[in-house]
Structures are given as structure tokens and as C-alpha cells.
Amino acid sequence: MTPTILHIDMDAFFVSVEEVLDPSLKGKAVIVGGSPEGRGVVAAASYEARRFGVHSAMPIARARKLCPHAIFLRGAHKRYSEFSARVFAILEHYSPLVEPMSLDEAYLDLTGCERLHGPAVATAQRMHDEIRDTVGINASIGIAANKLMAKVASEFAKPNGCFRVLPDQAARFLAPFPVGTLPGIGPKGVQQFRRLGVRTVRDLAALPLEFLEEVFGEWGAQLHDKARGISHSPVQPREESKSISRETTLEEDSTDPQYLESVLSYLLEKAAGQLRGEGLRARCVTLKLRYSDFKTVTRSRTLTVPACEDHILFATVVDLFRKLFTRRTRVRLIGVGLTSLTREALQQMDLFDTPARSAGRETLYAGIDRIRTKYGFRSILRATSHNEE
């Protein structure tokens, strides 16, 4: 049986939530993220703001230059988590196989559900309308035979559409697109391919497997498959998360600690959002840095009490960063990982406000205060201080 995989992606999610709460924002250039002092990075931008070149993960200062008339909002993770939970509740009504990728993005496996729900495109449209009517947010949905093509299809459907790529049309559909359309190929990859004379997916598909393996090692075989729209990665429902990580290759290698910390904060928010979305807590936090010479280093720390709060996890990862980062070598890639995930601790902590819990919290806050004292209050929570207490 050919699989039916959906990729559901909310359009400008954080901005859309703000618009639901304050409809006067609709149709305006709205940018969420950063601090009132104008530091940090863009977490989300409305389509009106994007027309000026603003995009996620861009430094707020640059967004201000590109789009000075935009409305800048700090954002609040708690609100976004709540809206996200409502969206996921709808998705899980359609299939138990839902894999959250972030607060606003998920894969869903509808294979074999046609007798129950009807044709996939009609089901996707119904899902789209239900999210719009009950949560008030537009989604774009891609439908295909695997996750790779579903993701490309949802991107193609944006904003506010549903789009299906038929299984036997995948390679033909992909061929004319720029190679950067393929998930996993970022701006750096695009540059690298350009040097090889590869601009479109068609160019990539023309390269022999042996050549790709010689140039890219293990990644070569994956690229060979991707160029043909082939992917075998299964949709893994939320219970199976053993770790949650987010990483990004920087647009330009950097030694600027302030910039690197704000990127870290952005990645942490995404990872922690997924963590909370899955009702989990993490006991172990990992920082990953890859330098411009491709040397990769990681540092981990185990928390005394598993946590899911941005400010606790961010304080940990930023402390690891400050101990590790010497500014001598430029950073090419930065990432954060959350492991030793537990559900049990969450239930205990949420159901019973035990003395042990308060004591644990006090220890944590004391830890944050120590770091704050050492490095300054703002420096630690600069970009993520969504204090939800």
C-alpha cells in the first residue's frame, strides 16, 4: 500500500496567534521575538513583514532596518503552547500517528485511513478548515507518499493551501526547483552545490551516486535519494521521542557571543516548545558547536530536577556555551539537545505541590540567580525571558 503522509505547517504561527488575540494586527507587518532593547532574533514574521525581507532567526536589529514600520512584539511562549496543544488535539483526531516537529509543524500518517476519512486531499482540506474554524489559524498542508515530499508540498502550498504530489510524479515535480528547496539543504549547502555547478534538483539528480558519496560521504546516498523524492523515514508519534534537538548552520560563521547566544535562545525555544508540547521534561541539556574548520564539540549537563521551562533550560545551555566558547575560532553550526526525557516527573510535579518540588525549584532559581549575579540579569534571559511564573 502506498503511504499517505501529510505535513501540516501553521502559517506564521506566533504572529497568527497574536492576531487571534488582537485582530487589529491583521494585515500589518508584525514581528515577534527579541527583547524591548531590540536584541535577539526574529521568532516569526507576518507575511507583510516578510515582503521586506524579514525572516525567522534574523537578528532583530536587522529586521528593524529592513522594516522599521513593523509592530514588534515580545511574544509569550505560554500562549503559543496553548494554541499548539489545540491544533495537535485536532490532528490526533484524524490519526494516532502524529509526529510533532515544533509547536506549529507536524507530520501525520493517514495510510489506510481512506475508508474511514475519505480521499486524502478532502481529509486534508477538512483538517485545514477545522483548524481555521476552531483555533482561528491558517495552516498549509502537503500530501505525498513520504515525509520529504509532504514537506516540500506544504511549502509549495503556502500560505493557506493544501497541495498533493502524486507518488509517481515526485521526481518530476522536484526537478525544476532550486536545490535549496530540499529539506536539509540550507544556504551553505546551496553555495557548496553552486561550486559544483548544481543549481536545481534536476542538476543534483544528474550526479552519479559514487560522485556524491565521494564528495559528501554518508550524506551522498541521502542526497541521491532526496533528488528523486525518495525517503523512508517513518512518522514517529510523540511517545517515541528519545531526544529533542535543534541545530542550525549560521548564514555566516561568527565569533560574536551575543549573536550566538541569541541563536541558541531561538533554538532552545523551539526544542523546549516541542518538549512541553509532548508533555515531557528533560534531565540532560547538550550544547553543540561546529567550528569553521568542521571540528565539532559538545558539552552536556545533567539537571538536578528535570525541567521543561525555557528559562531553566536556556540558563543551562548558555552557561555551557560561556564555559566552552573561547572566541578564537569562528562558529559554523550551533545546536541544542534535550535528552533523558521523562514524563513521570511532570505528572508528579504537576499533581502534587510537594515540599520536594518547591525545594527543587528553589535550588534551580538559586542557580539562575547565581548566573545572573555573575553575568548580569539581562544577559541570561535576554532573548527568552518569557517568565511564565
Count of residues for the chain? 389
CA 83 to each of CA 66, 144, 251, 264: distance values in angstroms, whole numbers, following the listed order: 29, 26, 31, 24
Q: Smallest gap, in angstroms, from Cβ of residue 102 to Mg ion?
A: 8
What is the 8-class DSSP label of residue 146?
S
CB 111 within 8 A of CB 195: no
Clarify whether 105 is annotated catalytic: yes
Determine the interface stretch with Mg ion among 2-10, 110-118, 192-200, 216-224 (rule: CB under 5 A). 2-10
* C-beta closer to Mg ion: residue 10 or 383: 10
Q: How many residues bind Mg ion (CB under 5 A)?
A: 3
* C-beta closer to Mg ion: residue 270 or 290: 270
Name the catalytic one among 19, 99, 105, 309. 105
* C-beta closer to Mg ion: residue 105 or 310: 105
Q: How far apart are CA 255 and CA 321, in angstroms?
A: 12
Task: Show the beta-strand stretches assigned E in 127-269.
Answer: 139-144, 162-164, 244-254
Cell of 233: 523515514
Annotation-wise, does 9 bind a ligand?
yes
Q: How far apart are CA 42 and CA 31, in angstroms?
A: 7
Q: Smallest gap, in angstroms, from Cβ of residue 91 to Mg ion?
A: 14
CB 42 within 8 A of CB 56: yes
Determine the interface stretch with Mg ion among 3-11, 110-118, 208-216, 288-296 (rule: CB under 5 A). 3-11
Q: Smallest gap, in angstroms, from Cβ of residue 267 to Mg ion?
A: 16
CB atoms inside a 10 Å sphere around CB 58: 17
Task: Show the beta-strand stretches assigned E in the chain.
Answer: 5-10, 30-32, 44-45, 71-73, 98-102, 105-109, 139-144, 162-164, 244-254, 281-291, 296-307, 331-342
Q: Smallest gap, in angstroms, from Cβ of residue 314 to Mg ion?
A: 22
User: Rounded to 5 degrees, what angle do the CA atoms 168, 104, 124 make?
Assistant: 40
CB 205 within 8 A of CB 186: no
Determine the interface stretch with Mg ion among 8-16, 45-53, 268-276, 285-293 (rule: CB under 5 A). 8-16
CA quadruple 361, 364, 369, 370: dihedral positive or negative?
A: positive
Binding-site string for Mg ion from residue 100 to residue 119, where x marks contact by CB under 5 A and - marks none: ----x---------------
Q: How far apart are CA 318 and CA 15, in angstroms?
A: 27
User: Rounded to 5 degrees, what angle do the CA atoms 314, 319, 321 make?
Assistant: 95
Binding-site string for Mg ion from residue 62 to residue 101, where x marks contact by CB under 5 A and - marks none: ----------------------------------------
* C-beta closer to Mg ion: residue 19 or 104: 104
Does position 18 interact with Mg ion (CB under 5 A)? The reply is: no
Annotation-wise, does 104 bind a ligand?
yes
* C-beta closer to Mg ion: residue 99 or 104: 104
Does position 269 interact with Mg ion (CB under 5 A)? The reply is: no
Determine the interface stretch with Mg ion among 10-18, 211-219, 268-276, 289-297 (rule: CB under 5 A). 10-18
Q: Smallest gap, in angstroms, from Cβ of residue 130 to Mg ion?
A: 18
Q: Smallest gap, in angstroms, from Cβ of residue 207 to Mg ion?
A: 31
Does position 9 interact with Mg ion (CB under 5 A)? The reply is: yes
Q: How far apart are CA 69 and CA 331, in angstroms?
A: 32
* C-beta closer to Mg ion: residue 10 or 268: 10
Question: Which residues of this protein are in contact with Mg ion, per CB under 5 A?
Answer: 9-10, 104
Extract the annotated binding site for Mg(2+).
Answer: 9, 104
- Residues known to be catalytic: 105
